Amino acid sequence: MNQLTSMERVLLTLKGEETDRVPVCSLAVGVSRGVTGVGFPQFSRDSQAAAESMILANQIVGDDVILCFTDLSVEAADFGQEMVYPEHSTAHPNYERALIKEPQDYLTLQSFSPASGERMGAYLDLCSILVNRVGHHTPVLGFVYGPLGVLGMMRGMEGLYRDIVDHPEEVKVALEVITTVLEAFVLEQFHRGVAGVCIDTLPASRSGVSPSQWEAFEGVYVKRISDVINRCGILNAHHGCGFSPYFKEVKKWIDPSVYSFADVPEDCRNFEEAKRRYGKEATLMGCVSTELLYSGSPAEVIRQCVEQIDLLGRNGRFILAPTCEFPPNGNLLNARAMVIAAEMAASGTMDTSWVGAA
Amino acid sequence: MTSLFEQVKGSIVTADSETLETLIPLFRAKHSIDEMFQGVVYPALDTLCHRLQERTLAIPDLLMGLKAVHLLLEKTKAHGFSPMRDRCIVLGVIEGDTHDMGKNIIRDLYTGYGYRVVDLGKNVSIETFTERAVAENADVVGISTMMSTTLTRVKEAVASLKRARPTIKVMTGGAFLNAKISADIHADGYAESAATLMANTELLFS
């Protein structure tokens, strides 16, 4: 069935050429810890344990891209934000002890070398292990949380969103420092051999700020990060899992080669228009519901995947993926179902009328 | 000439707290708290929610508008005023989750619309949800989560609340949830967004 390696399949897809099947990126990250039996805290901080989990999960699932990602707390932790590492859930800030308690605290953030940070350093080690072990046949995609997201982890999103209106200059001082560190962070990822870097800009959607606020408070900063990625000559990818994502503004500032998304873009009426407008020059990546991946059966997942391939995969330039990270406590069998769906679509065995018939 | 009602409402919608503070004493000298809710707060919240739904308003602007409503209620001491609606809402973010911006928006909307709101905060245990809902004689319990890892606890909380008082209405909300999952875990309703909150709430009692 599979005639190409994952690397070949993904590269051909990015170039808009024909492949044996649609590539799959299951985004099965946190859930992968289950295949080796490690807990969330170890998965977040132990590069070797995380790498073994992700590699084995990739082998079990058979998907085509490994997203090098543990959780969203990596960058903020190294700026000094205290984190909580629950045994049964993903790491998160201790907002009772937020690093930025009041607007003046935005002015106190200090730049540092990412490789010297405990979490970012461990993340870079993870990049190295993954690239060295599987990077020759499976693309390893680096990751960076956008500056507004990182700042939100230190202030709380609610406080940050208010400060954008009430204290914009202080917020921008902090964003400047964070961006400098993130530029160095993606450069270090490049040096570890990642095939590309995905920038996550959750606020670039109706789940975040307005389009003009996003341009002023994140677009201008993520452009600098994407410039570093482009100068390195690696894949410039974007992820935004918010409602009604701002593709037009994201294209203006980042112009990504890959859009990973969860909802119809703000300037489009439906997915078909998104494909027409953005899927000719760039590759679209999505949009299997994480809710379904969590609560649905493999058969239901296959049906939705086949629908997505039919909708967004026409004329290539499409990677089948969840709308966001695969549910960390979900069933990995549903990630495998995504690959099965891609194979079914390629072989023409796309009749899913049997799904739910029992 | 723009009426005082319109001026106060406008200062809330535009989150112009400076103007609002100037207008509050003028307004209170002429109008009752009831007139304030009916003529200013409800229309202002309706406008904010409508604009959110129409995508002409973003979350930071909504937060600032709600902050202005809070200022108005504080300055007029309307927080202690008997609510327009004789209903109690108990709200919280389920244990294991600390994302509380959505819950806080919902709290401020309910408060502005005159409900009696008991905010349990974030990382709230099933036991606390149940005990407080019973103690407060809550009409509705709103359980929020943004994560999939906490969904089992939400389901257990719904079951616990229903065991404690079968007639209690439970509404869920949060990024990972949808109407189907809410129905699957036997919640009575699902709050899709701030913009449709009041309609979703009224459905519980229809």
Output the average pLDDT for chain B: 92
Tell me the two tokens of residue A142: 């680096």
pLDDT at A339: 97
Whole-number Å distance between alpha carbons of A307 and A303: 6
Q: Contact A158/B177, CB-based, under 8 Å?
A: no
Give the Cα separation of A299 and B197 in Å (integer): 34
Degrees to nearest 5, angle at CA B162 with B159 and B166: 155
Name the pLDDT band for B76 (thresholds 50, 70, 90).
confident
Nearest to A162 among B55, B60, B175 (CB): B60
Using omega within 30 degrees of 0 as the cis cutoff, is the peptide bond preceding A268 cis? no
pLDDT at B135: 97
Banded pLDDT at A358 (limits 50, 70, 90): very low
- Is A86 in contact with B63 (Cβ distance < 8 A)? no
- A161 with A214: CB under 8 angstroms? no
User: What pLDDT does residue B78 have?
Assistant: 74
Reading phi first (left if > 0) and then psi (alpha if -120 to 50, else beta), residue A80 is in left
Judging contacts by C-beta atoms under 8 Å, the chain A residues touching residue B184 are 295
Q: Does the pLDDT value for residue A354 go beyond 70?
A: no
Residue B97: list chain A partners with CB under 8 A: 89
* The domain over range A22-347 is classified in CATH as 3.20.20.210: yes
Q: Tell me, what's the pLDDT at A357?
A: 46
Residues of B in contact with A88 (CB under 8 A): 96, 149
Mean pLDDT across chain A, nearest whole number? 95
pLDDT tens digits along B133-176: 999 999 999 999 998 889 999 999 999 999 999 999 999 999 88
Question: What distance, in Å, lies between the first and last C-alpha atoms of chain B?
Answer: 40
Distance from CA of A245 to the nearest CA of B (A): 12
**A27, A97, A160, A165: best mutation site toward chain B, by most B Cβ within 10 Å?**
A165
Q: Which value does ipTM take for this structure?
A: 0.87
Q: How far is A40 from chain B (nearest CA, A)?
A: 11
State the burial class of residue A316 (Cβ atoms within 10 Å of its Cβ: 0-12, 13-18, 19+).
Answer: middle
Whether A208 and B59 lie within 8 Å, measured CB to CB: yes
Chain B residues touching A328 at Cβ < 8 A = 148-149
Smallest Cβ distance to B101: which of A89, A158, A295? Answer: A158
pLDDT higher than threshold 90 for residue B205: no
- Any idea how long chain A is? 358
pLDDT per residue over A235-286, tens digit each?
999 999 999 999 999 999 999 999 999 999 999 999 999 999 999 999 999 9
A98-108 per-position pLDDT tens digit: 999 999 999 99
